[in-house]
């Protein structure tokens, strides 16, 4: 068994979290709250020790970069959230952030999420050369093309799903189900991975059953 008190603390907290699997209990609650508190405390301490000295003291005051006081002042308007009568002032930084964020992200988002994805749906095996060999690439491209068209027709509600539209929509729902299945399978793997990592920690670092 480990003689490191930190390993023991980690192991005890891991078991405290696992105790929820039996039923809700105060030990689990304590560990859960401790985790949340630690995460927030770490964030506050990190900002206080590293970000504020670097971004505010060094970049503005030591560098005499006085123009940066303007964004600092705008950012500080967020604190008016705690002054009910003047809380509307925090809308200013929110508006600026939203405006700048949207303006900045719109063109590249359209290119990355819309245009490139439409191109990816088209029959263009050359785009797959780095990942697939050309024959597999063509097959995958065809499958993607059929899948996208059929799935979109399933979500086409302006006409009743009759005739070819019905067939296409029914094929589409199969593609959707396969997608859900893949997502669920990956989710199971992710959750099992988390369990395995903790059990590995308990068996390896704590009780030294595995070396």
Partner 1 sequence: MKIIEKMGRLDRRLVYLLLTVAVIIPLVMSLDVRTHVDRSTLGLFQAIERIEPNNKAVMISFDYSPDMSAELDPMGLAVLRHCFARNVRVIVMSMYIQGAALAERAVAQAASEFHKRPGVDYVMMGYRPGGAVIIMNIGENIRKAFPADYYGTPFDSLPMMKNIRNYQDIPVVLTLASSGVVGTWVIYAGTRYKANVASGVTAVMAPDYYPFLQTGQLLGQLSGMKGAAEYEQLLVDKGYYDKKGLASRSMNAISSAHILIIVLILIGNIAYFAVKDRKPKREGT
CA 98 → CA 93, 103, 105, 106, distances in Å?
A: 8, 8, 10, 12
Closest separation in Å from C-beta 153 to partner 1 = 19
Residues 90-149 that bind partner 1 (CB under 8 A): 101, 104-105, 108-109, 111-113, 116-117, 119-120, 127-128, 130-132, 140, 144
Integer Cα distance of 83 and 81 in angstroms: 6
Nearer to partner 1, 95 or 100 (CB): 100
Nearer to partner 1, 64 or 85 (CB): 64
Query: Measured in whole angstroms, how far is the alpha carbon of residue 2 from the centre of its chain?
Result: 35
Two tokens at 56? 């505010």
Integer Cα distance of 186 and 46 in angstroms: 34
H helices of the chain, in order, are: 5-18, 26-46, 69-76, 91-109, 116-121, 134-154, 164-200
Residues 35-94 that bind partner 1 (CB under 8 A): 39, 42-43, 46-47, 50-51, 54-55, 59
Residues within the interface to partner 1 (CB under 8 A): 21-22, 39, 42-43, 46-47, 50-51, 54-55, 59, 101, 104-105, 108-109, 111-113, 116-117, 119-120, 127-128, 130-132, 140, 144, 179, 182-183, 186-190, 192-200, 203, 209-210
């Amino acid at each position: 068994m480990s003689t490191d008190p930190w390993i023991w603390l980690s192991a005890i907290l891991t078991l405290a979290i696992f105790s929820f699997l039996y039923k809700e209990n105060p030990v689990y609650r304590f560990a859960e709250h401790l985790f949340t508190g630690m995460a927030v405390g770490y964030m506050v301490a990190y900002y206080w020790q590293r970000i504020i000295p670097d971004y505010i003291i060094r970049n503005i005051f030591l560098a005499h970069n006085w123009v940066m006081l303007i964004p600092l002042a705008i950012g500080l308007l967020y604190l008016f959230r705690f002054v009910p009568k003047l809380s509307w002032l925090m809308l200013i930084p929110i508006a600026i952030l939203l405006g700048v964020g949207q303006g900045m992200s719109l063109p590249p988002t359209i290119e990355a999420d819309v245009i490139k994805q439409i191109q990816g749906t088209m029959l263009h095996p050359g785009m797959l050369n780095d990942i697939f060999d050309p024959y597999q690439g063509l097959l995958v491209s065809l499958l993607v093309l059929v899948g996208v068209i059929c799935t979109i027709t399933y979500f086409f509600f302006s006409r009743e799903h009759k005739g070819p539209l019905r067939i296409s929509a029914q094929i589409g729902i199969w593609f959707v189900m396969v997608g859900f299945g893949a997502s669920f399978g990956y989710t199971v793997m992710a959750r099992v991975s988390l369990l395995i990592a903790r059990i590995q920690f308990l068996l390896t670092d704590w009780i030294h059953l595995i070396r």
